[in-house]
Amino acid sequence: MVIKSSFAARPKILSRHRLFRLFSLLIPILGLAACAHKNPLTQDLLDNQKETWSLNFEHDAPNRLSEVINHIGVLNSTQSDSQQLNDLLYYLRSYYYFAADIELTEQQQENLDKVLLGIAESSAFYQTDEQALRLQENYLVALYLYFSDKKMHSRIANHRKHLIKILDQFTQPDTTKPTEQKKFTLWESLRSIAFLAYEARRNQPVKDALVSDRQLADSLLKFTKSQAANNWQFQHGVWATAYVQVISNDEDGDYIDQQMMALIDNADFLSEQDKKFVFSNRYLVNSFRVTDDCEQTFKGRCEIATIDHALPINHRCSDSLFIRANQMTAKELADSCDKLTSQESFFHELLATENKPTSDDLNDSLRVVIFDNYSQYNQHGQLLFNINTNNGGMYIEGDPSKKGNQATFYSFEAFWDRPEFSVWNLNHEYVHYLDGRFVKYGRFGHFPSKLVWWSEGLAEYVSKGSDNQRAFKLLDENPKQDWPTLATIFATKYSDGLELTYRWSYLAIRYLAEFDRENLQQLANALKNNDFKTYETLLGTLAERHQGNYVSWLNGHLAAYQPEDKVKRTKPRKLYRYLYRDYLMPEEIRYSEQHRHVD
C-alpha cells in the first residue's frame, strides 16, 4: 500500500516539476517578445510610420537599428503580428536613405543576415498571397541596400538560392492579372540580382557567390524567354542577364551570349529592327560591349543611332571648344562654356606653358559630349563612339599628330543633383585636354610610366583647387604608417585604385604647387620636350628631397581636419547612381507610401 501510494503520488510531483521547467524556458522567449514589442525605440517608429520617411525622424537614436533587427527576428520566429513585421522590414529602407551613418556594427551585420535568412526560410515566405509577396519585396530590397557593403559580401552566398527561387516563381504561367504588389516584387527581384551582380564586378566574394555555376544565368534566361507578352519584364530580364554575363567566366559568358542571341532571334513578338535594338541597346551595352563588337563578333545584330539623333545640340563656345548634347538650355550651355574656359589661365600660370601647344599637336579643338545621364552615356558612348563606359566620363585624345583627329571629352549631367544643373567631372576632364595639348608630348600612353599621378592629380588640383575635403579625409581614415610616400604616388598605376589614383595624387600635386612650383614646372617642361629621362630623374630627386616636409604638411592638415557632420544629413542618401537604367523604369510602377525609393 505504501509503495502503491508513493508510486501514485510521483506523477503529480514530476508533472509540476516539468511544468515549472517548461515555464522557466518560456519566460525568456515570452519576455523577449514582450520586451521587443514594448521597446520605445521600435514602438516609436511603429506608431509613426509616415514620419520615418524623413530626415527629421530620429533614425540614429542609440540602439534603434539593433532593436529593430532583433524585433524582426522575434516576430518572424513566433510568426506573430505580420503587420509589425512588414513595418519593421520596410523601416530598413527608410533607415538606409535617411540615417546619418549606415555602417553596421559586426553584431548588427550578423543579426541582419540571420533574420533575413530566417524570413526567407520560413514556411510563409514562398506562398502566392499578397503578404508573402510583400515579405519577398522587403527581403530583396534589404539585400541590395545592405549587402553592397564589403563587410557583408561573404554573406551573400547563402542568399543566392532565395534570389533564384523568387525569380523562378515568376517564370510560371499566370493567367491572372498581376496585382501592384506582384509587380513590385518582380521588379525588385530583377533589380536585386542586377544590383548585386554590378557589385560583383569589382568584388570577388560577390562574384563567387552569384556565378559559381550557370544556375542564376539559366533562371534569368528562362524568365526572359517567358515574358513575350510583357514589355518591361522582358527588357529587365535582358538587362539583368547582361549584368550577370559581365561577371561570368569566359566559357559561361559565351554561353550566355549564345543563349541570348537565340532567345531574341526566336522572339516573334519583336520586329527584325526591334530585335537588333534590344540586343545591342539593352544587352550589349549593359554587358559593356562596344562598336567593335557590333562590327565583328555580333555583325549584323546591332542598331546604332547617328550622332545627330543621339546629340542633336551643336553649340560652339569658342574656336577651340564646342559642345554636343542631347538636351541643354541656352543658359546651361553658356554656363558650361564659362566653367570650362575659366580655369585655363590658372592652368597655364601653374605650369608656365606660355599658352604654346606641344610639338606635333594638331588637336586645335575639343569636342565636349554631354549626355543627359549615365544611361545615355553607357548606351551611346559604347555603340556610337566605341568607348568603354565603365567609368564616370573620359577624355579621349586620339592621335594629336594626325590631321583631322578630334579630341573629345565624354561626360553626362550630374542627374542625381537635379534640379540643380552641373556636368559630372566637367572641369576635371577639360584639364586632361589642356594637359595633352600644352604639356605632354604625344598621344595618351606615349610615355612608358609614372604619368597617372600627374594626369589625375593635376586634373583634380586644377579643377578643385583647395576645395577637396575627400582627399584630406584619407588622412583621418588611414593610419600614418599606411600613408603612401611620394615615391609610391609617383609610381601609381590605374590598377592601384581610386584613392591612390585621384586623391593621394591630388595631395602630391598640391604640395608641389605650394612648396616647389619651380620644379613642378620643370617636370611639365620635360614632358613637353619629350624628355622622359629628365622627368623620371627629377621625380626621384623630388621624392627624396620632399618626403619629410610632405609628411609634416599632411600632419598639419590632419590636425586641422574636421570630419563631416554625421549627426544630421541635409539630403537623403540615394542608390548608387550607375546601378539602374532610367529607360527601364516601367510606366506602371509608381512609388507609393508602401513602395518607394529616393531617386
**Residue positions annotated with a catalytic role:** 429
Pick from 274, 291, 277: nearest CA to 383: 291
Cα–Cα distance measured from residue 584 to residue 598, given in angstroms and rounded to the nearest whole number: 17
Identify the three-state secondary structure at position 376: helix
Residue 221 class from Cβ within 10 Å (0-12 exposed, 13-18 middle, 19+ buried)? buried
Cα–Cα distance measured from residue 324 to residue 44, given in angstroms and rounded to the nearest whole number: 52
The grid coordinates of residue 420 equal 540643380
For residue 349, the Cα-to-chain-centroid distance in whole angstroms is 37
Preceding amide of 419 cis, omega within 30: yes
Cα–Cα distance measured from residue 420 to residue 331, given in angstroms and rounded to the nearest whole number: 13
Cα–Cα distance measured from residue 152 to residue 108, given in angstroms and rounded to the nearest whole number: 11
H-run or E-run covering 322: strand 321-325
List of residues 6+ apart from 358 with CB closer than 8 A: 400, 437, 438, 439, 440, 441, 442, 528
List of residues 6+ apart from 76 with CB closer than 8 A: 85, 115, 118, 119, 122
**Can you say whether the dihedral through the CA atoms of 522, 528, 534, 540 is positive or negative?**
positive
